[in-house]
Amino acid sequence: MIEIFGKPQCPFCDKAKALCEREGYEYTYKSLGTDFGREEMIEMFPTARTFPQIKVDGEAIGGYQQLEEWHDKDWNDK
pLDDT band at 6 (very low <50, low <70, confident <90, very high): very high
Tens of pLDDT, residue by residue over 38-77, are 999 999 999 999 999 999 999 999 999 999 999 998 666 6
Within 8 A by CB and 6+ apart from 1, the residues are 26, 27, 28, 56, 57, 58
Q: How far is CA 67 from CA 31, 33, 34, 41, 62, in A?
A: 18, 23, 23, 18, 7
The CA distance from 14 to 25, in Å, is 15
Tell me, what's the pLDDT at 73? 87
Tens of pLDDT, residue by residue over 16-47, are 999 999 999 999 999 999 999 999 999 999 99
* pTM of the shown model: 0.92
| Residue count (the chain) | 78
**Domains plus CATH for the chain?**
2-77 (3.40.30.10)
pLDDT band at 78 (very low <50, low <70, confident <90, very high): low
